[in-house]
A and B are shown apart, each in its own frame.
Chain A
Amino acid sequence: MLLSFLPIPDQASTQAVSVDTLFLVFTALVVFFTVLVCVVLIIFSIKYTRGTKADRSNPLDGSLKLEIMWSVIPLFLAIGAFGWASHVYFEMVHPPADAMEIHVVGRQWMWKIQHPTGQREINELHVPVGRPVKLTMTSQDVIHSFFIPAFRVKQDVVPGTYSQLWFEATKPGTYHLFCAEYCGTEHSRMIGSVVVMEPQAYEEWLQSGTTSESMVAAGERLFRDKGCSGCHAGTSSVRAPILNGVYGGPVPLDDGSVVTADDMYMRDSILLPKKQVAAGFKPIMPTYQGQLSEEELFQLIAYIKTLK
């Protein structure tokens, strides 16, 4: 590559190229200003060292013109840099609608990953090249951060909430996966690798090994076993919301507000059912706090999403 003499690490995602371009332009600006100031400093230093012959007549104590110039130029450059960087950021922040969703649970000190087909792995993430992948992540204990340097992506993984990160890998290979948020004793061992595969190879990998039930199937089983279906299935005698078609739509609450039924709403409704009560229903649902692991919550939500 043209810029390969620069100390730029592997670029293996669509984001990597735009982030690096931005980085290089910033670097050009920084080098320009550093050199500018240093050259002027050095010239003045040599020219005006005490004892040297130099014209010191009519010195300047201040100049409004100069002050305005060196305030306004940096201001406009800063605004320009902000604008561009924010544009790049906004392209990175929203995952494409067709992104494949993979679930990640962080804990001291490992990454637990589950693919939609049910395939699980630890400290390794296999993904196909050329397909947007969205990670939905949470932590079982402290804050971690999912960092793939070659993709230029990083996202904190926070207990009690879901965070998202997406990327589209562009180059098959094996790349570092690091935990970037200090998480205790073996923080630096909370590492792994991301394996980017050709789509065909990824499909084969998914079929290999002992594939357990898919996430949706596991969620359906939990929905029955944990007693959810007792109230939330159409035939129940208890008055509870029927969950068909709920996901993604608006939910009117009993306090008059309306929320969107996203993953976080689902999670809260299971663990903190009194937090947001759907309008027209009594707050009678018990909490499932402590009865479901983070993985099981992901599976349940995956199943509820399929209810039409």
Chain B
Amino acid sequence: MSSEALTHPAEPAKHASAGDNYLTNGFSLKSWLLTLDHKRIGILYLISVSVFFVIGGLAASLIRLELITPAGDVLSHETYNKMFTVHGVVMVFFFLVPSIPAVLGNFLIPLMIGARDLAFPRLNLLSWYIYIVGGLFTLTVALTGGIDTGWTFYTPYSSMFSNTYVAMAAVGVFITGFSSILTGLNFIVTIHKMRAPGLTWFRLPLFVWAHYATSLIMILGTPVLASTVALVAVERVFHIGVFDPALGGDPILFQHLFWFYSHPAVYIMILPAMGVISELISTFSRRPIFGYHFIAFSSIAIAAIGFLVWGHHLFVSGQSPYAGLVFSFITFLVAVPSAIKTFNWTATLYKSSISWDTPMIYAMGFMGLFLIGGLTGLYLAAIAIDIHVTDTYFVVAHFHYIMVGGAVMGYLGGMHYWWPKITGRMYPEGWAKISAVLIFAGFNLTFFPQFIVGYWGMPRRYHTYAAEFQVLNVMSTAGASVLGFAYAFPVFYFLWSLKYGKKAPSNPWGATGLEWQTPSPPPTTNFDEVPVVTEEPYHYPMLEPERV
């Protein structure tokens, strides 16, 4: 009886024909800017993070262009330094951190748990406005003169020496932090209090588990970042000694505080992507996820252990060697929950029935890149090796494999998977496959050579470099060109599909999960009746996908 409720998307048909959905519920600008609908807020975030991604991407293009030759012949020192700072600040704080949670999480969590909205819709809208205000601050800084501290804002350079607009950028990051905190809070309360009847914790989609873990990090870590950048601004403006030794401060203290947030922030970026991948692999292989509990708890374990590893960024800072050992050991432990996830995803494919739609291609791409990104993290956990490779391109390559290879692949995979749900239109599969493969290839060509040039000793944040590093840098720039080109594809075909894409049925992939039981796009209230859940998650095999 109840399984019928799960597997028969009968209601949707009625709605689809009525054409009454969250997108048609008002067309004025006001109806968007003052909306309390989590789905519309998700769209607002989608547009804004895309704009920031383009800005961050343009900065990256200039960096790669400059690095074709060892000499500094395209940009001045000052401009180059501002470019990598803008790239880092924008990509980390304004794209990666909000990307999956604020766009897909916002849109999907209520749908996945059978709720009408998040627990605090007004707070949700406020989060977006806070994000925009923080973003405008940062953009103003970027446009009116820039900031040259790197996204890490290391003191005392940032607080006392840089002649750029550090305080203003710090304010931007400070403000945006509150957006994360409020979103995390909203998710946690929603997941605790608003699950549909019968939707127990262990029936939740792993996407929701991943976002729960992410939200914990957001509300526990972000306040520390906020206070840290506030202290930088205070020292800079009022010359109150906190970090500058000339004023009696301790510059290394800043690094402890900064990484206490910023290492867990890496998990803010990767955990939601892992949640997406669990959904994709299960759906497109028609199998329940292997070891559901282990994947769910490994997310929580990563979030928890992630708070205890910040000192691995300080192995050459003069930190006590014994503290270094403890941080090194705990960092090695992160390998375990990461391995658990990878093996479980792989095992899910055993005796499965895989269909190679674009989201599945992204999922497999994620697996390969995350594997390399994660395993190269072990080199950095080992102090003896880290001493040589820290602050070189080896580290740059490693975290791009995690953040771009992992988080961005997850985000794009998720965007393709849920695009029919979000917009009611199918994207063009052929173009999407081409771009997914190009992104994978371009990514590897861009970042794999950086592991080698890093081990050869090329420091990061170098505007000019030694001649023997050139070949690998040219390869990297060539890869970046492919990557930039491939990233442009989805922008065009997604927009194209809004008008010309085939109409999407409510469940085009034949997936389980409550979000697929409501029409595409969903009605403003998400569900006409509160769904009742009586089954385990990922209860495949399921019905064949509806014909598109």
Residues of A within 8 A of B (CB): 7-9, 18-19, 22-23, 26, 29-30, 33-34, 37-38, 40-41, 44-45, 48-50, 54-63, 66-67, 70-71, 74-75, 78-79, 81-82, 85-86, 88-90, 92-93, 108, 141-143, 145, 147, 149-150, 152-156, 158-161, 163, 176, 178-189, 191
Contacts and interface: CB of A to CB of B under 8 A. Distances in A.
A22 B392 contact: no
B148 A184 contact: yes
A151 to B, nearest CB: 9
B465 interface: yes
Nearest to B379: A26
A26 B391 CA distance: 19
A37 B371 contact: yes
Contacts of B34: none
B385 to A, nearest CB: 6
B351 A85 contact: no
Given A26-B378, A156-B317, A178 B459 contact: yes
Interface of B: 72, 77-78, 81, 148-150, 152, 154, 156-157, 161-162, 244-246, 250-252, 285-288, 290-294, 316-318, 321, 324-325, 328-329, 332-333, 335-336, 339-340, 342-344, 346-347, 349-356, 364, 367-368, 371-372, 375-376, 378-379, 381-385, 387-388, 390-392, 452, 455-457, 459-466
A45 B348 CA distance: 11
A66 B371 contact: no
A71 B457 contact: no
A50 B352 CA distance: 8
| Interface-centre pick from B333, B350, B355 (highest chain A CB count, 10 A) | B350
A174 B245 CA distance: 35
Contact of A159 (B251, B336, B376, B381): B251
Nearest to B462: A188
Given A145-B391, A159-B156, A48 B351 contact: yes
B354 A45 contact: yes
Contacts of B466: 176, 191
Contacts of A159: 156, 244-246, 251
A161 B250 CA distance: 9
Contacts of A145: 316, 391
Contacts of B294: 62, 67
A261 B505 CA distance: 77
12 contacts: A49-B355, A78-B332, A89-B387, A142-B157, A147-B459, A154-B390, A181-B154, A182-B150, A185-B78, A185-B148, A188-B459, A188-B461
A158 B245 CA distance: 9
A75 B154 contact: no
B135 to A, nearest CB: 24
Contacts of A142: 154, 156-157, 161
B366 to A, nearest CB: 11
Given A156-B316, A158-B252, A182-B157, A85 B383 contact: yes
Given A71-B340, A159-B156, A187 B390 contact: no
A63 B286 CA distance: 18
B378 A81 contact: yes
Given A22-B384, A176-B457, A48 B375 contact: no
B364 A45 contact: yes
Contacts of B385: 19, 22-23, 26, 85
A60 B78 CA distance: 58
A55 B352 CA distance: 10
A184 B156 contact: no
B342 A18 contact: no
B383 A67 contact: no
Contact of A86 (B72, B340, B344, B383): B383
Contacts of B152: 182
Contacts of A81: 332, 378, 382
Given A19-B384, A49-B354, A56-B351, A82 B332 contact: yes
Contacts of B350: 44, 48, 59-60
B251 A143 contact: yes
Contacts of B387: 19, 89, 92, 152-155
B157 A54 contact: no
The 9 closest A-B pairs by CB, nearest first: A149-B457, A160-B245, A85-B382, A44-B349, A88-B384, A59-B351, A188-B462, A180-B391, A78-B332
Contacts of B464: 188-189
A44 B346 contact: yes
B161 A141 contact: yes
A38 B368 contact: yes
B382 A26 contact: yes
B382 A22 contact: yes
Contact of A184 (B157, B321, B368): B157
Contacts of B452: 7
Nearest to A60: B350
A187 B387 CA distance: 19
A48 B162 contact: no
